[in-house]
Structure 1
Amino acid sequence: MLEPKHQAFLGELQRRGHAELDGLAQCFQLLSLSSAIDQDCANRLAPLGLSEGRFVLLFLLQGAEQPLSPHQLAERAGVTRATITGLLDGLARDALLERHPDPDDKRRVNVRLTAAGEALAVQLFDQHTQWIRSLFADLTAQERSLLSGMLCRIWARTDAGKAA
């Protein structure tokens, strides 16, 4: 289940005589799993001309009660304004969203989905949710809870977890 780069790292540790590899092996398993899930996600979205970033914007806009500004979208998606501009341009080119002047401030722009964007967002969100559920289908509720607790404990030891 390990990616070749992780296998190589563990092999080098063994070559250098490091006997304690358990924590490292599990870390590399987790990284390999994350990479596999990311790749599967990309493979599912690519035939629709979407990236994960574009997908995130679709469901953020679909779930919004009112049009959102590019700045609001960047904050909610956790990306830069420059990244948002490129994502919005692509979705607008594909007729999945429209930009409109803000009625209160003509210098600002608001973004909303077109009917086609709305339909795609609903369809994809449901499909994506079902796919993610299927990844964990063989785990019992107790196993999922245990896994979640362990992942939270590991997260808390990362720099990001300590800063949170």
Structure 2
Amino acid sequence: MLEQKHMALLEEAERRAIAPTDNIRACFELLALTGAIDRDCAVRLARHRLSEGKFVLLFLLHDKPDGLSPHELAERAGVTRATITGLLDGLERDGFIARRGGLEDRRKIAVALTEVGRQMARELFSEHTQWVASLFEGFTADERKTLHELLQRIWRNLDAGKQQTGQTADARA
């Protein structure tokens, strides 16, 4: 289950006895799981000529018949304008979107789904949400709640989590 690089690091940590290796193993198992989920997701989307980034744009546009500007899409998707251009080029090439002049100002570009894009977004939303939900089949509500609480504890131990909560090293001391 663990990647070779993680096995090597774990073995070295065990050899040196410098940290609790059970904690290290748990972290590496979590990394392996998230990597496997990402890979499975990529394979599922690739069947439809989509990446995760393109998939997100389909849904941002799904309920926007007048479309959105590339700037708005970049902001809502949390990507740069350069990234959005590449994603839009691919979606347009595959017939999922069309670029057109804005309704109020023809100098502005609006990006909207084509009929093919709307149909793909509709089908994929159902398929994708069912797949994501299936990852937790057999879990009870209490088990999902416990998992959520455990993941939140890990987040709080991360530097990124501390920044989100405003916790600093001084506050913990």
TM-score by length of 2: 0.89
In the alignment, the residues of structure 2 paired with residue 81 and residue 2 of structure 1 have an alpha-carbon distance, to the nearest angstrom, of 36
SS where residue 111 of structure 1 aligns?
strand
C-alpha displacement at 1:19, in angstroms? 5.9
Q: After alignment, is 48-57 or 32-41 more displaced?
A: 48-57
Contact 2:66–2:110 (8 Å) recurs in 1? no
Could you say if the C-alpha distance between residues 103 and 66 of structure 1 is closer, same or farther in structure 2, counting changes exceeding 3 Å?
closer
Determine what percentage of the aligned residue pairs are the same residue.
56
Residue ranges of structure 2 left out of the alignment (5+ in a row) = 165-173
- Greater gyration radius: 2
Cα root mean square deviation, aligned: 1.4
In the alignment, the residues of structure 1 paired with residue 53 and residue 39 of structure 2 have an alpha-carbon distance, to the nearest angstrom, of 14
Residue deviations 1:95-150 (CA, integer Å, cap 9, x gap): 11011111222221111100100000111111111111111112111100111111
Aligned residue for 1:47? 47
Q: Which amino acid aligns with 1:5?
A: K
Aligned residue for 1:134? 134
In the alignment, the residues of structure 1 paired with residue 21 and residue 50 of structure 2 have an alpha-carbon distance, to the nearest angstrom, of 39
- The answer to whether structure 1 residue 71 and structure 2 residue 71 are counterparts is yes
Aligned residue for 1:160? 160
SS where residue 130 of structure 1 aligns?
helix
SS where residue 6 of structure 2 aligns?
helix
Moved over 6 A (4+): none
Q: Which amino acid aligns with 2:133?
A: R
Aligned residue for 2:26? 26
C-alpha displacement at 1:70, in angstroms? 0.8
In the alignment, the residues of structure 2 paired with residue 143 and residue 63 of structure 1 have an alpha-carbon distance, to the nearest angstrom, of 34
Q: After alignment, is 136-145 or 59-68 more displaced?
A: 59-68
In the alignment, the residues of structure 2 paired with residue 14 and residue 37 of structure 1 have an alpha-carbon distance, to the nearest angstrom, of 28
Contact 2:97–2:113 (8 Å) recurs in 1? yes
TM-score by length of 1: 0.93
Residue deviations 1:35-83 (CA, integer Å, cap 9, x gap): 0000001111112211111111111111346411111111111111100
Aligned residue for 1:37? 37
